[in-house]
Amino acid sequence: MLTIQNLLKNVYCYIKNISKKSYRNCAVLVSGFSVFAMVSLNTHGFGGAGKNRSVVECSNMQGAKGEIQSENSEQESVAAIGDFASSCKQAIESEQSKMKEAREAEIQKREVTAVCASVEPVHNEMQQLPVNPYGDISISEEDYEALLRIVQAEAGGEDEQGKILVAEVILNRVLAEDFASTVSDVIFEKSGGSPQFAPTADGRYYSVEVTGSTVEAVEKAIHEEDLSQGALFFSARRRANPYDMAWFDRNLTWLFQYGGHEFYTLP
């Protein structure tokens, strides 16, 4: 009996120290354990006095047999309780292991999220930095006025980006070694006796009225990101001379088309 009582006491102390989150998983096991313990204890009752004693006092052989059976029953009860306690302990340890793994997974997830959050702003900041190659170009008032007029004449019907692209072709030529070194000289430059930009020959350059949207586009072309991919030529294929377009296609590298213009660079 003392062995059973000590075992029950140890099991109780172990269950008492488990976390609250494990109670639900062990509730059924504890209930079954309690019922099993009560049944086991009832099988080992105490004999009374008087008339009951005469029933208990049997022959030596029967008493020895009963003692052996009682001892075997107690051993079986202890073994069963030990198995039950072992099962309960395994269930508790399994639950605690799962909880530990869940906590470790959550901690790892938070660490990865924190690292990504610290890296992403730097990545976005690098992508958002404008690349403007025109900061070293010296633009006089005369150059600025000429740039406004040629953009209005060549791209007056285009949207803002279409105007920016035309302005950047002029600025790209200023930076290139194959063309003149100032905005005004680029605009009025000739090749083989022919003007590079038709509005300077047909009068549109002088007759246009520069709009506010053109001024904004030119400002963005000068001070913000280069959208032209380094283009040095542009042409409106639908309005251009077929012989001129044949020369473009044969001697230049096509880059892209935007609006009514196709943009090219040197091969």
List 258's β-bridge partners, or say none: 261
162 neighbors 155 (Cβ within 8 angstroms): yes
- The burial of 89, by beta-carbon neighbours within 10 Å (0-12 exposed, 13-18 middle, 19 or more buried), is given as middle
User: Phi and psi (nearest 5°) for 228?
Assistant: -90, -10
In order along its 267 residues, the chain shows pLDDT tens digits of: 556 666 666 656 655 665 555 555 556 565 666 655 665 555 554 444 444 444 444 455 555 555 556 566 656 665 666 676 677 677 777 777 787 787 777 777 766 665 555 555 544 444 454 567 898 899 999 999 999 999 999 999 999 999 999 999 999 999 999 999 999 999 999 988 899 999 999 999 999 999 999 999 999 999 998 999 999 999 999 989 999 899 999 999 999 999 999 999 999
d(CA 172, CA 239): 24
pTM: 0.53
CB 208, CB 156: distance < 8 Å? yes
Which residues face 262 on adjacent strands?
235, 257
Helix (H) or strand (E) segment spanning residue 253: strand 253-258
User: How far apart (Å, rounded) are the C-alpha atoms in residues 160 and 152?
Assistant: 11
